[in-house]
Amino acid sequence: QELIRKGIPHHFRAIVWQLLCSAAELPLRHQYSELLRMSSPCERLIRRDIARTYPEHDFFKGQDSLGQEVLFNVMKAYSLVDREVGYCQGSAFIVGLLLMQMPEEEAFCVFVRLMQEYRLRELFKPSMAELGLCIYQFEFLLQEQLPELNVHFRSQSFLTSMYASSWFLTLFLTTFPLPVATRVFDIFMYEGLEIVFRVGMALLQFNQAELVQLDMEGMSQYFQKVIPHQFDSCPDKLILRACQVKYNPKKMKRLEKEYAALKSKEMEEQIEIKRLRSENRLLKQRIETLEKESAALADRLIQVLQLFPLFPLF
């Protein structure tokens, strides 16, 4: 753990990442070439997005670049083995990083492992329920460890999802320059999503004094322009602070149960609202029917009275 936190040497990354996630044992490895011969319903969506993935990196520059081609291959192959998730925007940045380190077949195997064993599949499901859980857990850490900043965020209606969603979905690959983001990814390969919580909290700790002075627009700009380049020359400083962040796995598990109960209650309430709306709609229809029947009876009564004018009306 200590060695990985210090950074995996570049020439060892490919083999170490594969070993850490047991990618070599993946049965799908032998199906990769066959998957490439198949067509996927996600192909147009993937083609559209890969041009936006690391557009400044030489490996991915140009529509006909090798990088874009192998990135398309891996994303298409995964969309075929996991029809429920298919393709999700943001996942291409993770695959792109893998392709900078290893051949496409190996990158495919590592990505499948990350999706299956590192909670990424839950994050990228169409419902994105896992992202909601991560945001809920992160808000708890923020409230517990940085209460003043939490109050300021709330007063400015600066939602956690506005700045932290991309941290979880792309593992900081769209936040930091690659040398810093890759250091975080090294640790992710060993420790999982815990490092995203730790780095996120470390960033807020470093920047609390500045953030509490800013309004919503100012904070948005600060997250986009200032925070990404604070550790370009000293990623060790960020990693060290992140490793010092208080993180209790038991508490996070408890929060997961809390969140599941909240969502279950919300779903029950939504079902009840739908039931009441349905009943209300049926009642309205019944009232309309009764009103029509009442009007028809009144017309018939008038017709009867017109036929027998000798009878006095009371």
Per-residue pLDDT of the chain (314 residues; tens, 9 = 90+): 888 999 999 999 999 999 999 998 888 888 999 999 999 999 999 999 888 899 889 999 887 889 999 999 999 999 999 999 999 888 999 999 999 999 999 999 999 999 999 999 999 998 888 999 999 999 999 999 999 999 999 999 999 999 999 999 999 999 999 999 999 999 999 999 999 999 999 999 999 999 999 999 999 999 999 999 999 999 999 999 999 999 999 999 999 999 999 887 766 556 656 655 666 676 677 777 767 777 777 777 777 767 765 555 44
Helix axes 66-81, 104-117, angle to 10 degrees: 40
Which residue intervals of the chain are DSSP H helices? 2-5, 13-20, 32-36, 43-50, 66-81, 91-99, 104-117, 120-124, 129-145, 147-155, 160-170, 178-191, 194-211, 216-225, 235-244, 249-307
At 271 the pLDDT is 66
What's the CA gap between 108 and 78, in Å, rounded? 7
For residue 102, what is the DSSP state? S
What's the CA gap between 104 and 59, in Å, rounded? 13
- Among 23, 216, 215, 38, which residue's Cα sits nearest to residue 109? 23
At 296 the pLDDT is 76
At 128 the pLDDT is 86
Q: What is the DSSP string of 3-42?
A: HHHT---GGGHHHHHHHHTTGGG-GGGGGHHHHHTS--TT
At 273 the pLDDT is 67
What's the CA gap between 282 and 284, in Å, rounded? 5
For residue 312, what is the DSSP state? P
8 A C-beta contact, residue 183 and residue 239:
yes
Residue tagged 């993937």 (tokens): 46
What is the maximum span of the chain, computed from C-alpha positions, in angstroms? 110
8 A C-beta contact, residue 181 and residue 172:
yes
Q: Could you give the C-alpha distances from 267 to 134, 261, 264, 274, in angstroms and in order?
A: 19, 10, 5, 10
- Among 209, 239, 235, 236, which residue's Cα sits nearest to residue 222? 209
What's the CA gap between 295 and 27, in Å, rounded? 73
At 308 the pLDDT is 63
8 A C-beta contact, residue 97 and residue 173:
yes
